[in-house]
A and B are shown apart, each in its own frame.
Chain A
Amino acid sequence: MSNAIKDLLFKMADDALIIGHRNSEWTGIGPMLEEDLAFSSMAQDKIGHAQALYTILHESFGEPSPDQLGFLRTEAAFRCCRFVEQPIGEYDFSIVRQFLFDHAEYIRYDLLAQSTCKPLALLAKKVKGEIKYHVLHGDTFFKQLAQGTEESKARMQSALREAWHQALGIFEKSEFEEELIAQGVFAGEDELKKRWLAKVTAVVEAAGLQIPETIESKIDFGGRRGYHSEYLKQLLDEMTEVVRLDINAEW
């Protein structure tokens, strides 16, 4: 059982760390100061969530310290989806990713608030309250830009098309899926995906855009099993540049 829970905790923590890292890259270059501030806040929340999840792994499952888990594992050990690894691109991609990803995050934590894994259920209740504001941010900007100028509409539709099959990679199942559901740890990726699809479809259609057609073979799977896009290694190399100068030192 513990391997199944560990796998779930790792994929959630890795998603949060990597998307938090990406969000932080907007510091200083946002389309307006207010968006620098917003992405910076979301980055801090997400990285904090990652730290909290690694702390559960450390305290309840005998894994190394959060710093070691976050900063000193190899690329293949990461279980994040490929969607969060993608570079920030232009603001249209980043805001569409934020919108799609955070709806999934909110529903995931909402479901996990009932988990039989007690430390995770406790954390989920707290995190849910924070992600609510991320969803609010994503929805607000998604709607306004989808209904703004001709250029912004076209950009949002195009970014949605680019992000769609990557976003569906969030719901990639691991070998432990059945076990997690049977033990009441998590309601499962299919349930999450179903709820997510209903939620984002409603917002996208209300904003006057179209949900791209899903082609199963195009879904960007692999991340949950350690097969990542080319971007994760680059990100990790950069992220660990300082700590690797002296891994035994206290920083």
Chain B
Amino acid sequence: MYGSTNLTEEEAKRMSTTQEDPEKLEAFEARIARGEKIEPQDWMPAEYRKQLIRMIEQHAHSEIVGALPEGTWITRAPNFRRKLALIAKVQDEVGHGQLLYSAAETLGKTREQMLNDLMSGKSKYSNIFNYPAVTWADIAVIGFLVDGAAIVNQTINSKGSYGPYCRALERICYEESFHLKQGHDNVVYLATGSKIQRDMLQAAINRWYRPLLHFFGPPDKMSAHSEKLMKWKVKLASNDEMRNQFLDMYVPKILELGLTFPDPNLRKNNEGIWEFSDPDWDEFKRVINGDGPCNKERLAVRRYAEEAGRWVRQALMNPKDKYQVPLA
């Protein structure tokens, strides 16, 4: 699961001033324009490499941090079917993390470095995982709507220009489509169940509405643009375009189950664009910068896993082995 790629203004400014060999750059851009994929051994601009590492790394972090809120409910899933499905689903997310770290490693940064940057806070992960899964119904909503939002984003990104990332995303999207089914199934059971179940589902939708709007990043008018990222097919759709696609696909599915969203201004206008109340973008910024309900807890769990597992990794290390960049 993953949100959106956003540049800070500073980064966007720096990008536009990087100097590259004009001939090589022209050939590179022509390849992308022809729809060719860029492979690890190919020449690429330093900024392209850097932005891709950043994006794939963040995506990988999002997968393994995303496993935490759902993982806490594996031990409480209410029957065999749900328990088995949830373990398998969260296992998939960790597997996606593994796959994506390998894809990022082809660009020259090791998994260990990436995990260190995650723990130091230097590298980010999707903001949505800084919110808690309060009840079992949150698991249903995450499985259906957060995974649904991630599929919108990842399907678009799988059409990008970097071969290893695209191939990883294609496989990820395939698995995510099963997650969506189990999430939808869970939502339907709660929506058509007892009053306790319906009430907990509605409360969960109310809780996740704003984080879901935040998921795709700030509105286009607020975010730093990079034509270059679009030209290089690192970014393929704007935040607003992806958000609108998500709302178009999922709002009707929730409404038809007799559920509501906690926003009287949520509606589709005559041009087919969804309108909604301001979801408090200041909160989005606060949470991204570390002040969300679960930021500290998420990183603390990752640090615990790293520290508690260090002796295992050290013992398994063969001093004769050399680090090898994974095959693309």
Which residues does A use to contact B, with CB under 8 Å?
A: 21, 24-25, 27-37, 40-41, 43-44, 47-48, 50-51, 66-67, 70-71, 90-91, 144-145, 148-149, 151-152, 155, 235, 238-243, 245-246, 248-251
Contacts and interface: CB of A to CB of B under 8 A. Distances in A.
B315 A34 contact: no
A207 B88 CA distance: 33
Interface in B78-94: 78-80, 82-84, 87-88, 90-91, 94
Interface string B296-324: 00000100110011111111100000000
27 contacts: A24-B87, A27-B87, A29-B301, A31-B312, A33-B94, A33-B97, A33-B98, A34-B98, A36-B94, A41-B91, A44-B84, A44-B91, A144-B315, A144-B316, A148-B315, A149-B311, A151-B314, A152-B312, A245-B200, A246-B196, A249-B196, A250-B189, A250-B193, A251-B78, A251-B136, A251-B193, A251-B197
A151 B315 contact: yes
B82 A251 contact: yes
Contacts of B156: none
Contacts of A70: 79-80
Contacts of B308: 29, 31, 90-91
Nearest to B98: A33
Contact of A47 (B67, B71, B80, B90): B80
A37 B75 contact: no
A91 B200 CA distance: 36
Nearest to B111: A33
A67 B310 CA distance: 38
Given A36-B94, A37-B94, A238-B75, A248 B309 contact: no
A151 B80 CA distance: 39
A37 B71 contact: no
A27 B90 contact: yes
Interface residues of B, number: 43
Given A152-B314, A246-B196, A31 B94 contact: no
Interface in B92-124: 94-95, 97-98, 101
Contacts of A33: 64, 94, 97-98, 101
B87 A251 contact: no
A56 to B, nearest CB: 14
Contacts of B253: none
A224 B313 CA distance: 37
B77 interface: yes
B98 A37 contact: yes
Most buried by B among A33, A35, A155, A238: A33
Contacts of A35: 309, 312
B107 to A, nearest CB: 19
Interface string B44-86: 0000000000000000000010011001011111111011100
Contacts of B193: 246, 249-251
B17 interface: no
Contact of A25 (B75, B77, B197): B75
